[in-house]
Amino acid sequence: MDCVHRMELERTPQYPRPKFRDDRIFLQEATLHELFAQDFGVVQLLPPGARTIKIMGLPRGNPDLVCMRAQGRFDDPTAVLFPIEIKRPIRLRSDNLVEDYTRQWQSGGEQGPVGPVRQIFGYMRLNGFRYGVLTTYEEIWFIKRTMQHTNDLVVSPTISSSGTGPTLLQCYLWFIRQAHDDEWMLDTSDVAQNRAIPYEGLSQSFRLASLASDIATSKPAWLSYMLHIGGLTFCGDSKKLQIPNLVAAERFGNATLDRLKLRLEDVHLAFQNIVSSGSVRQALALYKRTMEIRDVGDSDFKKTEENHRDSFHYALLGNSHPALRKIGLETHITKVT
């Protein structure tokens, strides 16, 4: 955060110093949303005049708040500078978010920053944004994606609301200016292509009464039910479905692992072997186990080599469990011809 210290400030204040009241009590997270929008929204008075507000939702997901360009329209995704996810202090507290994230991910613990980080990253990645903010109001973390079409992140140190070198509002204004001046292009096209599920034609064959008996065997019934409960959502204006965020993706991943009787540790080890030595032996063994449970119908015996090649890619490589998506685990694989 060295750049924050170098932000040029006038010696003579043009505006009164903002004051945070310390006598407010909140019981619900929604109250924190209002406090953050009110107290941090004062930077709207300074260039570039960005607004910190609540909107109805992004094309993919519904963050707590967003930071928008001064004259941006609510229905224009390019007007949003970054999403903001707010958690209660009792749920998230960290002196070093990266170390705590890694520690929780390795131990498999339930309490910690893994869930919140994945949530804000989901809003950023699925909507094509480069910047994002995770905060408890008392602490804040500024998050930035390093390159387009990738999942790599850089995270700022923990900035406290009581800090003075720099202050939290200085950091927030600097982050707004970084996002405002960045020429980053929204990179949502690859997400939509990789995660979209054809839905056109299925809706005509589905009836609400089918849920009583066909949800376990009927693909149209199951997809329509998942759409109804929010497990899937429409991909823009197209007749395709997609997983809305990383929280839903993790639930699908856990359900798939349970259905195929696979352990996340085994999948993790298989990925590590691919990255470290290029060996796909363990990954192929996992796919073999998948075939034994999944491919039990007559049509499954007619699958071609290309079918299994694509299935191996999308089941294990292209759509890995969200818990396995971290720096150093993903790698490019060149097809041997």
DSSP letters for 94-156? -S-HHHHHHHHHHHT-SSSSHHHHHHHHHHHHHHT-SEEEEE-SSEEEEEEESSTTS--EEEP
**pTM assigned to the model:** 0.54
* Cα distance between residue 223 and residue 300, in whole Å: 21
What per-residue confidence (pLDDT) applies to 156?
Answer: 92
Q: Residues with Cβ < 8 Å from 210, sequence gap 6 or more? A: 218, 220, 221
Please write the tens of the pLDDT for every residue from 43-74: 888 888 899 988 877 777 788 899 998 888 87
What per-residue confidence (pLDDT) applies to 328?
Answer: 44
Which one of 53-67, 269-283, 310-324 scores highest in mean pLDDT?
53-67
Cis peptide before 166 (omega within 30 of 0): yes
The mean pLDDT value for 78-96 works out to 89
- Largest Cα separation within the chain, whole Å, is 79
